[in-house]
Structure 1
Amino acid sequence: MSYGMTIERGYRFMIKIFRTIDNGMHQVSEIQEGCWVALTNPTSAEILEISNEYKVDINHLRAPLDEEERSRIEVEEDYTLVLVDIPVIEERNNKDWYVTIPLGIIITDELIFTVCLEDTPVLSAFMDGRVRNFYTYKKTRFILQILYKNATMFLNYLRVIDKKSEVIERKLHASTKNQELIELLELEKSLVYFTTSLRSNEVVLEKLLKIERIKQYPEDTELLEDVIIENKQAIEMANIYSGILSGTMDAFASVISNNLNIVMKFLATVTIVMSIPTMIASFYGMNVNAAGVPGASNPYGFLYVIIFSLIVSLAVAFFMAKKKLF
């Protein structure tokens, strides 16, 4: 098989090639045996050329570009496809929310390909050489290391979601608006995405235990078991946080409704107190004979009416306060 494919200007750097040289990660311009080829949102032309050059089913290369694609393993004669969900940050309304997208890992006898819709911290850690004991020529171990990194990334994002929910909860104590509840709803949606993706990934991991082609090194089985443990822990955390968040939303929906009732009760009480001087002024403002109006002929009549209105209003306000209506 030929390995003469190089990155041309037409690729717009959507394809990156990495190779371990002298125990260090290096980006190279030509695909050689033992390389890792990272495809990020590749074009149809790029996918077609990779498919023709390296005999990979074009549908398997396109599968990770579909956001609704399910996690699975496809074992072919010349290669193995591992498709899992990874967490990513999505910006909406100038705020960061969390969703999942597919990541495809294709292993041939000589190369490893990764296909994803966008750059992800799961892969960038390998590209930057921040993962210990990572070698591009140890392809099956690379799969397990990606899966382990993916599980830890889920755990990190779950902790961030938990901290965000605590911040929103503190705001909700004095809130009568729906904005905080909407933010909690977005976090709950993220947890639903995470739980669904983690369960799908769990099925893939369980299946990996049964594929001998994946376990080429003695320590691979132990690493795979670690990945499964991390994934199970992420599932448990997602379920716990989701339950807490759901209960919190129900509780604070009642709190917001109660806060609104308190405000409405206060406004109604103020309206009653303020209506008394208005009512008295209305009686004195009627178009009737002045001789029949109490205090009309008294030079201090206006002052008496004001004082009387104030006394009655204060009496009603005191009565309302005793009834805890303020």
Structure 2
Amino acid sequence: MIEYFRTNDQQSLEKIDKEEPGCWIAAFEPTSDELSQLSAEFGFEEDDARAALDLEEVSRIETDRGYAMFILDTPVRDRSSNERSYKTIPIALFETPRNVVTVCSVYKIPLIDQLKASKDLSSTADVHAFAADILMASSTAYFMALRAINRRRTDLMATVKRPSRKELEDLYNLDSSLVYFKTSLVTNDAIFEKHLRRSTFPTEEDRYRFDDVVVENRQALETTQIYSEILDSTIEHFSLLMEHDLNRTMQVVATVSLVLCVPTAVAGFFGMNLLGIPLDTFPWGFGVVTGCTVLASLGLLFVLKKFRWF
């Protein structure tokens, strides 16, 4: 699917029916024919565009082929495992002489929603400026996902005293999401820094705009690292609570087993089929033995309680 957008007088995006000079061409889940059409029309390698469809593709930048190509990772919800978890997927961005072209393997991603909601975009006709806006929106999408992850963590901490298996799985899924984010943001930062050092920008304003992209990406990385440490502490906190509850349960089980040893031992002694067992001819022998057993068990409980065994 290929869609076309341009900025209007209010500096926001509007969808148009067909391609025109200075518009943004966004390819979502493109077919082979659509990739061939785009590469032929805009002069970039088809293999470069196809790389964005490989979920394992590493972020990189190419500027020596007559066009600038960015392949960077952007966050999306991981619908296959849990609606609250996230993963990152590659998106390819091409700066051609007339247009900005993007290729992505997923239709609805936060980056696109962020661009559509923005009211202060550069003109799509200004290729370098609008490409920087897309890169900036990618970092902003991380912040949106991070806020959602932190809200879920806060909700669990506020409402859960003894987490269930599902809630623990939610925490581990959130932790996995942050691992994806950290890895992707580190690689994104590397290619942004490389582009900032080695590329010649048309104007000083374009350079300042890309500086903002680098700063925003690093802030997203720092925030991810902070949230990851907090989430690790939360998981450790729940683990300690579960370990404490398990220890208390084992103490109770051990106490019950120890107290039950008293009547078991007495019953075993008086249950021997031998002559001369104490109180075997006494009319109240059973009651006396039972009473002494109960007193001995209660005494053992008192001693264990005094020593804070349970």
TM-score range, shorter chain: 0.7 to 0.9
- Give distance in 1, aligned partners of 2:94 and 2:194: 16
In the alignment, structure 2 segments of 5+ residues that lack a partner are none
Determine which of 272, 285, 292 is the counterpart of 1:308. Answer: 292
In the alignment, structure 1 segments of 5+ residues that lack a partner are 1-13
In the alignment, is residue 294 of structure 1 matched against residue 282 of structure 2? no
Structure 1 residues 117, 152: CA separation in 2 closer, same or farther (over 3 Å shift)? same
Task: Tell whether the 8 Å contact from 2:55 to 2:89 is kept in structure 1 after alignment.
Answer: yes
1:286 CA displacement:
3.5
Q: Which residue number in structure 2 is paired with residue 198 of structure 1?
A: 185
Q: Which residue number in structure 1 is paired with residue 194 of structure 2?
A: 207
In the alignment, is residue 125 of structure 1 matched against residue 109 of structure 2? no
Determine which of 64, 73, 91 is the counterpart of 1:85. Answer: 73
Task: Tell whether the 8 Å contact from 1:84 to 1:104 is kept in structure 2 after alignment.
Answer: yes
What TM-score, normalized to structure 2? 0.85
1:168 CA displacement:
4.7
In the alignment, is residue 265 of structure 1 matched against residue 251 of structure 2? yes
- Give distance in 1, aligned partners of 2:117 and 2:240: 50
Q: Which residue number in structure 1 is paired with residue 136 of structure 2?
A: 148
Deviates more, 1:31-40 or 1:16-25: 16-25
For residue 118 of structure 2, give the secondary structure of its aligned residue in structure 1: coil
In the alignment, is residue 114 of structure 1 matched against residue 102 of structure 2? yes
Alignment map for 1:273-292 (pairs within 5 Å): 273-289=259-275, 292=277
Task: Tell whether the 8 Å contact from 1:181 to 1:253 is kept in structure 2 after alignment.
Answer: no
Query: Letter of the aligned partner of 1:138 in structure 2?
Result: D
Deviates more, 1:30-39 or 1:44-53: 44-53
Structure 1 residues 170, 304: CA separation in 2 closer, same or farther (over 3 Å shift)? farther
Deviations 1:90-126 (A, max 9, x none): 1354442122111111121222211112121111233
For residue 37 of structure 1, give the secondary structure of its aligned residue in structure 2: strand
- Give distance in 1, aligned partners of 2:158 and 2:97: 54
Alignment map for 1:187-266 (pairs within 5 Å): 187-209=174-196, 210-213=198-201, 215-216=202-203, 219-246=205-232, 249=235, 253-266=239-252
What TM-score, normalized to structure 1? 0.81
1:252 CA displacement:
5.3
For residue 96 of structure 1, give the secondary structure of its aligned residue in structure 2: coil
Deviations 1:26-54 (A, max 9, x none): 32232221221111121222212222233
Q: Which residue number in structure 1 is paired with residue 302 of structure 2?
A: 318
- Give distance in 1, aligned partners of 2:219 and 2:279: 82
Task: Tell whether the 8 Å contact from 1:107 to 1:113 is kept in structure 2 after alignment.
Answer: yes
1:292 CA displacement:
3.5
Query: Letter of the aligned partner of 1:263 in structure 2?
Result: T
For residue 224 of structure 2, give the secondary structure of its aligned residue in structure 1: helix
Aligned residues: 307
